[in-house]
Amino acid sequence: MSIIYLEQVNSTNTYIKENKLNNGDIVYTFNQTNGRGRLGRTWYGENALALSLLHIPKETSNLPVVSIIFGTAVCVSLKEITSLDLKIKWPNDIVIDGKKLCGVLVEAVTDNDGVCLICGVGINISNKDFPEDIKDKATSLKLLGIDNINIEQLIKAISVKFNKFLENGYKVPESFNDLCITLKKEILVINNGKQIKGIAKAINEQGGLIVKTTDKNLITVTSGEVSVRGILGYI
């Protein structure tokens, strides 16, 4: 496993797509110029760590759950190192006190060699403020009183935790259910501008969210398609 530091890059996920790396390799930078977020959004990456890990699966069943596994590995690692009371907003935003600290984007790439997964995370490190449109829902380690995080230690912890979870196969880690603040909440599922209100009931084996809608239907939503938020705001 190699850890590659880049002075600047458009997107660490794109860098992995365009370079031949090995399973478990990690690329990181503090200067990502064109970060991508979930659902085609742009990721604001100033004063942030951008990190991507290449995962080459041995089997192809249940790969969507890798985004839950990776998010949980980042959350557990950051919790251990900072002692912050971090939680996960389904599927994999890492949040605290109603604000987002990290975003996760896992992308699958298929070529002649098969499928590989690029697991990316952006962690807000030293921001003292944020652009107007996200300032009420974003936070950073600095704003949370953590000034001197050891990045090498964090990167190694993420890699170790991720591999540990994978020893159980492609399954939702047990700790995810304790960390996930979306469960049992009244939420809005937003899909192509349409909103459905319901209660988040459970996570299925693929990492999908099972929601009981206000008209008493059970629906399952998957992370690639929808965004979910609390009925009163981001969380």
Strand order in the sheet with 209-213: 218-221, 209-213, 194-203, 186-191, 227-230
Should residue 71 be labelled a site residue for ligand BTN when binding is judged by CB under 6 A? no
Q: How far is the CB of 226 from ligand BTN (least distance, A)?
A: 13
State the CB neighbour count (10 A cutoff) for residue 160. Answer: 12
Should residue 197 be labelled a site residue for ligand BTN when binding is judged by CB under 6 A? no
Should residue 13 be labelled a site residue for ligand BTN when binding is judged by CB under 6 A? yes
Site string for ligand BTN, 97-126 (x = CB under 6 A): ------xxx--------------xxx----
Give the separation between CA 210 and CA 222, rounded to whole angstroms.
Answer: 9
State the Rg of the chain over Cα: 17
Q: Which stretch binds ligand BTN (CB under 6 A): 34-42, 136-144, 158-166, 209-217?
A: 34-42
Should residue 37 be labelled a site residue for ligand BTN when binding is judged by CB under 6 A? yes
Should residue 12 be labelled a site residue for ligand BTN when binding is judged by CB under 6 A? yes
Residue with token string 């206000």: 214
Identify the helix (H) or strand (E) that includes residue 67.
helix 66-82
Closer to ligand BTN by CB, 134 or 231: give it: 134
Closer to ligand BTN by CB, 140 or 205: give it: 140
- Cβ distance 99 to 22 under 8 Å? no
Q: Which stretch binds ligand BTN (CB under 6 A): 35-43, 62-70, 109-117, 170-178?
A: 35-43
**Residue number of the CB atom closest to ligand BTN:** 103
Instruction: Assess whether the previous peptide bond of 91 is cis (omega < 30° from 0).
Output: yes
Give the CA-trace dihedral at 123, 51, 114, 57, to 10 degrees. Answer: -70
Q: How far is the CB of 9 from ligand BTN (least distance, A)?
A: 9
**Sites of contact with ligand BTN (CB under 6 A):** 11-13, 32, 35-38, 41, 43, 45, 50-52, 93, 103-105, 120-122
